[in-house]
Structure 1
């Protein structure tokens, strides 16, 4: 089954990681530039309809991209 990640900022006391990352950070700029919304439609035929939800294809691609870049 094709999963989808629902991202929501979570607070740990008063610390928010997104407030600590500079605006000119490479990955923040990449996120604003790169549109991966097409991946869900492309990956849909390869996923079953039953079972546990998988990792979101967009998240998986981002993990692979970071692994390649780093």
Structure 2
């Protein structure tokens, strides 16, 4: 099944995180201009109707972009770096 994250309303925590990310940060600028919502329709035929939901398609694609930009070959390194950096967490929502 295609997984899709439930968007929470913008709360004070995400607004506070934005205050710590520089205005010219790559991931902050990329988040403003990159709309990947079209991916849900593209990948829909490749997923079954039952079973456990997958990782959100947009988040997965964004993680692949982060791996490319940060020159990471390992998924473990990617997850570790993503957990530690506020700019990447903000980019992933």
TM-score interval (norm. to shorter): 0.7 to 0.9
Aligned residue runs from structure 1 range 1-70, under 5 A: 1-8=1-8, 16-70=16-70
Unaligned runs of 5+ in 2: 71-93
Higher relative contact order (CA 8 A, sep 6+): 1
**Matches of 1:52 and 1:7 in 2, distance apart?**
19
TM-score by length of 2: 0.62
Q: Which has the larger share of helix? A: 2
Alpha-carbon distance, 1:11 to partner: 6.7
TM-score by length of 1: 0.80
Local SS of the residue matching 1:3? coil
- Give every structure 1 segment of 4 or more consecutive aligned residues whose post-TM-superposition deviation is greater than 4 Å: 9-12
Give deviations 1:6-34, integer Å, cap 9, x for gaps. 2436777xxx4233212221101001111
Unaligned runs of 5+ in 1: none
RMSD across aligned C-alpha pairs, in angstroms? 2.0
